[in-house]
Structure 1
Amino acid sequence: MNTLKFSGHDTFHCRQQWLSKGIKLIDNEGYTVLNRPEIAISRLGVGKNMVQSIQHWLKAFGLINDRHEISEISNKLFLNNDDAYDPYLEDEGTLWLLQYKICKSNYASIFNLVFSEYFNDKVTLDFSERQIIQFIEKKIRDNNEREVSTNTLTSDFKVFVKSYATPKKSLKTIEDDFNSPLLELNLISQLNSRNGNGEIVYKINKEVRNNLPITIFAYCLLDYLDDRKDISYDELRNTIGSYFCLSNDGLDNLIEQLCSTYPEFVYKNDAGIRQIQIKGIAKDYKTNLLESYYEIQ
């Protein structure tokens, strides 16, 4: 069974209001409405291929599960009547949540591969289309997975960078290109220079990230751990730390802030073995974190 997944977006990166519109439509009329183009096109106000793309992104962000059911986080963000946390994605904390979800779900595998694996053995933070595609092709071979065409991977790459990087284009395309919810996080930049092959060069922006809410960081950590009660520093750095493009100083700062804000998180450094331990977490602790962040009473 393949563990990596590519394509499905019909060459469209996720637009700002697609997630909210898609979840509300499913809530009102059921998931099968998305498989009835004549209705979904009218309800969502998009073309047929964009309807298929919306389905893809709802799954990629973990907002619906394998059975096409609306997830708990979707209910809290977009539904719940007047108590919806952030239906229009106006809070930056929500964008960090979405960034965590799309990397963690691995439904659109290029996101996880680029953020958490590609740079593990790299000195530079720059990358190009060819470098990423060659890396993914090797990953597919190493995993003994079914071959994926270069055209498919090229399409995935273009959608991936459009999700994050401000393009150097004319004003006539500005509305289309600047409408990705993840652009605001400034995780990837398009550089002005090209490499020796004439390709556009991009850069991962590893930073301290003082704008990353500590409550959202705590929620993501608990969600990642599931029922586990500890995580090594290295695993945290190579997963959530990488999803959020945190520098080492940035991750250290967040861990210190996490443990000082929430006593349930304890940092241990014994004989050079660094880990974060979780103690005394109640069943509804994770939910309460989000409610406190979004000030839901």
Structure 2
Amino acid sequence: MKFRAHDTFYIRKGWLSKGMKCVVANEAVFISKEENPMDILGLGANMVKALRYWLQVVELTEESKKRKRTQQLTPLGQLVFDNDRYIEELGTLYLIQYRLASNKDEATAWYYFFNELSLAEYSRDDFVDMIQNYIRMEGHEKNVASRSLSDAFMCIVNTYLPRYKSNPSRVSAENNIDCPFGELGLIDILDKRKKRTKKAHQLLHQLIHGLL
């Protein structure tokens, strides 16, 4: 089980495309000593770390098992890079989302949310309480801090809930911080005052069973 390896940074628009492009140009982009990865990727240090994690979790890249931790495109990554490099097609987003929601070991909170969470309507506290029970039932040896689980929930919400819905007062044409997965409509606000959200059941059912 892994939590918070994203350091609370959800995937931003353009991140995956930029990451694939840079990996193709230089397999050592994330560990290069000759060139600063922050300069090459145009991201801060923690965001570079998060992007390195996300590329692997959605199975667009994989890291060499050798001593030098270089990255290469996976067969899926090569397919996306060749045919929809900028991830503009909904079908590409659904496929990547399916890989993310299926990754129990590396994206445990996402796996739990889409495969195990039985509530259609939920708050952050609901999620934290239920995933803690799940972690215990799975026999996980180490306790996971509630703060980490709370951060994971907020990262999930920010991944799928466009900013114009969650915080419309801070939306601007220059502010490109939404996640592309927001286009899938998998989460919506139920009660903003009570901070409750809901799932889009039909899409989730189709998605998790690989029908899209």
TM-score (norm 2): 0.84
For residue 113 of structure 2, what is the aligned residue in structure 1?
114
Q: State yes or no: 1:35 paired with 2:38.
A: no
| Residues 192, 245 of structure 1: alpha-carbon distance in 2 compared, 3 angstrom cutoff | farther
Larger Cα Rg: Structure 1 or Structure 2? 1
Contact 1:163 1:182 in 2 (8 A): yes
Q: Deviations over 1:226-256 (max 9, x none)?
A: xxxxxxxxxxxxxxx637278xxxx9xx6xx
Tell me how large the CA RMSD over aligned residues is.
Answer: 2.3
CA distance in 1, matches of 2:206, 2:111: 7
2:125 to 123, 130, 134: 130
Residue 66 of structure 1: CA displacement? Answer: 5.1
- Structure 1 CA distance, aligned partners of 2:16 and 2:144? 27
Percent pairwise identity: 28
Length-normalised TM-score, structure 1: 0.61
Q: For the residues of structure 2 that align with 1:35 and 1:173, how far apart are their CA atoms? A: 34
Partner SS for 2:30: helix
Do 2:17 and 2:86's aligned partners in 1 also have CA atoms closer than 8 Å? yes
Answer 1 or 2: higher relative contact order, Cα 8 Å, separation at least 6. Answer: 2
Point out where structure 1 has 5 or more consecutive residues left out of the alignment. Answer: 79-83, 210-240, 259-297
- The letter of the residue matching 1:64 is T
**Helix, strand or coil: the match of 1:33?**
coil
Query: Residues 1-297 of structure 1: matches in 2 within 5 Å?
Result: 4-30=1-27, 32-36=28-32, 39-65=36-62, 67=64, 68-78=71-81, 84-106=82-104, 107-119=106-118, 122=119, 125-145=120-140, 146-166=142-162, 167-173=165-171, 175-177=175-177, 179-194=178-193, 199-207=194-202, 242=205, 244=207
How far apart are the structure 2 equivalents of 1:173 and 1:191?
Answer: 20
Alignment: residue pair count? 199
How far residue 193 of structure 1 moved from its aligned partner, in angstroms, is 4.4
What is the CA–CA distance in structure 1 between the aligned matches of 2:92 and 2:17, rounded to whole Å?
12
Residue identity opposite 2:161 in structure 1:
A
